Structure 1
Amino acid sequence: MLNIPRALGAVAVGCTLLLAAACGTVGEPSSAQPGQLKVVTAFYPLQFVAERVAGQHGAVSSLTQAGAEPHDVELTPRQVASVSDADAVVYIKGFQPAVDEAVAQSGNAHVLDTTGVVPLQTQAEEHAHDHADDSPGDVHSEDAEEGHEHGGIDPHVWLNPQNMVTITEAVVDQLSGIDPDHAADYRANGAALQGELRTLDTSYTTGLKTCDRREFITSHAAFGYLAEQYDLTQIGISGLTPDAEPSPARIAAVQQEARDHGVTTIFYETLVSPAVATSIAGDLGLRTDVLDPIEAITPESRGDNYIAVMQSNLAALEKANGCR
């Protein structure tokens, strides 16, 4: 089980009139209309996919409220019941203990654990430098890294668009198997979404191909899958636990990384206090900007859905890293 006391909020926004009947609620089960599938998802990125695939044939809800802490999410009795009653459930096993327990107790046979199609990976080291020659006084020493996570299982698979293509296919297969009468619609909806995701992937590949630097510093190490896919190097102020307070030694190490790589920007995110990122940037005379792990869509999000926020993230990375 992941030890990530951090939650990913979820909210359904930007629903078109065509999908209005399908757009579900956040935090509580939605009311399906006659003939609609009841689809329960764990948090926003999975909700986004399920809404797009289900279209008018499904009422999609999320178990995680906007701004909540998904790892520590407490499900209401009604939410627990909704997992048992759902026609389909989509979640990431091992990420949210309360959801895992509800699924295990539900006896629901129509459950999609996305780790079956996109396995979670161990967090990569934040930087690829060989520190074998570092002296004990260097900021890269073990003492300097004290309190900073290395290893650990990274759940943030949705920040790689190619993973979202795979998850979309799995949701299409799930809903088509449950409701074969509308399988053609699910496949058409899924193909349309996959086309958008592949376009997004191409934009990232092209936009990040030629840059002045490959390193970026962010408030917590949520972007490992993205960094690996597009040949970037993530330097997290915190590890996989965004609420963890970095030690003074870790802050000093990050500041040295910023100097070593000519970093121009310290990224923070909308659901976590920017105080540490702002302090580091202020000490070094650098800019701050948002790099959103898309754990929720809130009024502060730079976009009203997954695709839009990912595009905003790309623009922020291109500017910070001098890409052209």
Structure 2
Amino acid sequence: MNVRRLIPTAALAGSVTLGLVALSACSPSDAADGGAGGKGGGKLAVVASFYPMQYLAEEIGGTHVDVSTLTKPGVEPHELELGTRQAAQLGEADYILYLKGLQPAVDEAITAAGVPDTVDAASLTTLEKHGSEVGHAHGDEEHAGEEHAEEEDHAHEGEAGTDPHIWLDPVKYAEVAKGVGASLEKADPDNAAAYRKNTTALVERLTTLDTAFKQGLADTDTKTFITTHSAFGYLAERYGLTQESISGISPESEPSPARIKELRSIAAEDKVGTVFFETLVSDRTAKTVAADSGLRTDVLDPLEGITEKSKGADYVEVMKSNLAALEKALGAK
């Protein structure tokens, strides 16, 4: 029998906070009746670093896990900082799922927590390096130098400057899902069959999503799209597109005048009609670039969190919305 902490479901039913919900937050009455886990049985206490990891844990874990997240909805995950008390609470988890290289403060706290069943999603697939553009080369030697410097500035993003945004490629995300499922089976063997079944169902949904992207983006007027930051490199490579970002890997970095000038040329050359911005970062720069080039703006969501502004209630719904936005912007046939 695998021994797990008993976590009353009621203790985790409140809104997600910036840190973990303290396991001691349940009331005495909750503890007395054994919580919502029923018949003295508990659930695996899972901590996810931010939304894409939370989604995997919830979909695969199902009714056998209680999932809390370190990143509050609406908070840009790259910028998350943890307080001392919040970081200490990581040690109360049975299982931690995170993405190394995306949130340095979280990486440090997780290492310090030393929870045995800790899974780095980046280790479950292959990471790549992406700069300001993915697909084909534009610009001159001056921009090449800027891009190299940009990559150096964001070397903390993944191992050796790799791009951590693997969840925006349904195929890579499915690879991660399989690894998470296997790790949950190991952490909680009593419920291995359920985790295996849920993993299979999720991978099937992601495979269907991948097919929709392949078909929807197969024949378009242009293959180039401009977005706020380089979150969509894996997606671009998967579906034969070229991502041109305004700010690079970091969503908050400011573009140089040379980069803005180059984007104007790219938009004209590649018949780009739309500049995409995202839900968790200011749209000011995107709108400035769009106005400067006479382009429209629209939302392409990097799915780093679900809020009331999200065009969908979960990962699959928002990705379908992203596909519709790309089809419109690229002139899909």
When the two structures are superposed, what TM-score results if normalisation uses the length of structure 1? 0.85
| Equivalent residue letter for 1:174 | S
Is residue 85 of structure 2 the alignment partner of residue 63 of structure 1? no
Cα deviation per residue 1:213-244 (whole Å; 9 max; x = unaligned)?
11111111110000011110000011001111
Change (3 A) 1:160 1:21: farther
Aligned AA for 2:170?
P
Aligned to 1:143: 142
Q: Write the letter of the residue equivalent to 1:80.
A: A
**Partner of 1:54 in structure 2?**
61
The aligned counterpart of 2:270 is 261
Contact kept in structure 1, 2:247 and 2:254, CA below 8 Å? yes
Return the offset for 1:22. 8.4
Q: Distance in 2 between matches of 1:23 and 1:170?
A: 27
1:12-69 per-residue CA deviation (whole Å, 9 max, x = no partner) reads xxxxxxx999878343334584510000111100001101111111100111122324
* Native 8 Å contact 1:89 1:112 kept in 2: yes
Q: Does 1:28 align with 2:35?
A: no
Counterpart mapping for 1:90-239 below 5 A: 90-124=97-131, 126=133, 128-129=135-136, 140-144=139-143, 147-148=146-147, 149-150=150-151, 152-239=161-248
CA distance in 1, matches of 2:245, 2:141: 16
By how many angstroms is 1:130 displaced?
Answer: 5.2
Distance in 2 between residues matched to 1:277 and 1:244, nearest whole Å: 12
Map of 2:259 onto structure 1? 250
Give the structure, 1 or 2, with the largest relative contact order (CA under 8 Å, sep 6 or more): 1
Q: How large is the RMSD of aligned CA atoms in angstroms?
A: 2.3
Deviation at 1:275, TM superposition (A): 1.5
Percent identical: 47
Match of 1:300 in 2: 309
Q: TM-score normalized by structure 2?
A: 0.83
Cα offset, 1:186, TM superposition: 1.0
CA–CA distance in 2 between the matches of 1:323 and 1:177? Answer: 44
> Which amino acid in 2 is paired with 1:214?
K
Q: Deviations over 1:180-217 (max 9, x none)?
A: 11111111111111111111011001101111111111
What are the Cα deviations for residues 249-300 of structure 1, in whole angstroms up to 9, with x where unaligned?
1101001100000111111111111122112222222211000111111111
> Given that residues 131 and 230 in structure 2 are in contact (C-alpha distance below 8 angstroms), is that contact kept between their aligned partners in structure 1?
no
Partner AA of 1:57 in structure 2: H
Q: Which stretch shifts more, 186-195 or 223-232? A: 186-195
- Say if 1:184 and 1:256 are closer, same or farther in 2 by CA, change over 3 A: same
One-letter amino acid of the structure 2 residue matched with residue 282 of structure 1: A
For structure 1, list consecutive stretches of 5 or more residues without a partner in the other structure: 1-18, 132-139
Matches within 5 A, 1:64-83: 64-83=71-90
Q: Does the 8 Å CA contact 1:162/1:201 hold for their aligned counterparts? A: yes
What does 1:265-284 align with in structure 2 at a 5 Å threshold? 265-284=274-293
For 2:208 and 2:311, the matched residues in 1 are separated by: 19
Indicate the residue corresponding to 2:4 in structure 1.
none
Which ranges in structure 2 are unaligned for 5 or more consecutive residues?
Answer: 1-8, 24-34, 153-160
2:266 counterpart SS class: helix
